[in-house]
Structure 1
Amino acid sequence: METVAGVLRGAGESIPLPEDLGSLVGRVLEEGADVFFRLSSPLGPVFVAVGRRGVTCVDRVGSEEEFCRRYRGRFGRLLMPAGKRDLDLAGRLAAALAGRQVEVPLDLERMTPFQRRVMRVVRGIPRGEVRPYGWVAREAGSPGASRAVGNVMARNPLPLLVPCHRVVRNDGTPGNYGFSPREKVRLLREEGVPLEELSGSPYTATPTTGVFCHTTCRHARRIQPENRLAFRSPADALRAGFRPCRVCRPVAV
Structure 2
Amino acid sequence: MNMVEEALHELSAAQAPDGFLERTLRACGLRDSYAKVATPIGDYFVAWRGNRVSAVSRADKGLDSFLGWFAEKVDRSLEPAASVPAAIRSALLATRGQGLSYDFGQLTEFEQAVLRKTLEIPRGEVRSYGWVAREIGRPGAVRAVGTALRHNPIPLLIPCHRVVRGDGDLGNYAGGHPELKKDILTLEGLDLGWLEDLARRRKRFLGSRTTHVFCHPTCFHARRIAPDNRVEFSAEQEARAAGYRPCRDCRPVAA
**Shorter-chain-normalised TM-score: which range?**
0.7 to 0.9
Quote the offset at 1:232 in angstroms: 2.3
Q: How does 1:163-242 map to 2 (within 5 A)?
A: 163-178=159-174, 179-198=176-195, 199=199, 200-242=202-244
Q: How does 1:24-103 map to 2 (within 5 A)?
A: 27-29=20-22, 31=25, 32-52=30-50, 54-61=52-59, 62-83=61-82, 89=85, 91-97=86-92, 98-100=94-96, 103=99
Quote the offset at 1:105 in angstroms: 0.9
Equivalence for 2:246: 244
Q: 2 CA distance for matches of 1:162 and 1:235?
A: 32
Q: 1 CA distance for matches of 2:172 and 2:152?
A: 13
Aligned to 1:40, what secondary structure does the other structure show?
A: strand
Cα distance per residue 1:109-160 (max 9 Å; x no partner): 4211111111111101111100011111111111122111111111111111
Identity %: 43
Q: 1 CA distance for matches of 2:203 and 2:15?
A: 64
Cα distance per residue 1:60-119 (max 9 Å; x no partner): 133333322321222221111124xx65x2x21121112247622111242111111111
- 1:116 maps to which of 103, 112, 131: 112
The AA in structure 1 aligned to 2:44 is V
Q: TM-score, normalised by structure 1?
A: 0.82
The AA in structure 1 aligned to 2:63 is E
Unaligned runs of 5+ in 2: 1-12
Does the aligned pair in 1 maintain the 2:34–2:48 contact within 8 Å?
A: yes
**1:152 and 2:148 aligned:** yes
RMSD: 2.4
Cα 1:196–1:144 shift into 2, 3 Å:
farther
Corresponding pairs, count = 231
Q: TM-score, normalised by structure 2?
A: 0.82
Does the aligned pair in 1 maintain the 2:127–2:162 contact within 8 Å?
A: yes
The AA in structure 2 aligned to 1:82 is A
Does the aligned pair in 1 maintain the 2:133–2:142 contact within 8 Å?
A: yes
Equivalence for 1:6: none
Quote the offset at 1:202 in angstroms: 2.9
Does the aligned pair in 2 maintain the 1:41–1:94 contact within 8 Å?
A: no
The AA in structure 2 aligned to 1:159 is P
Equivalence for 2:6: none
The AA in structure 2 aligned to 1:95 is S
Cα distance per residue 1:27-79 (max 9 Å; x no partner): 43562431002112243110001124611110113333332232122222111
Cα 1:132–1:43 shift into 2, 3 Å:
same
Runs (4+) off by over 4 Å: 20-26
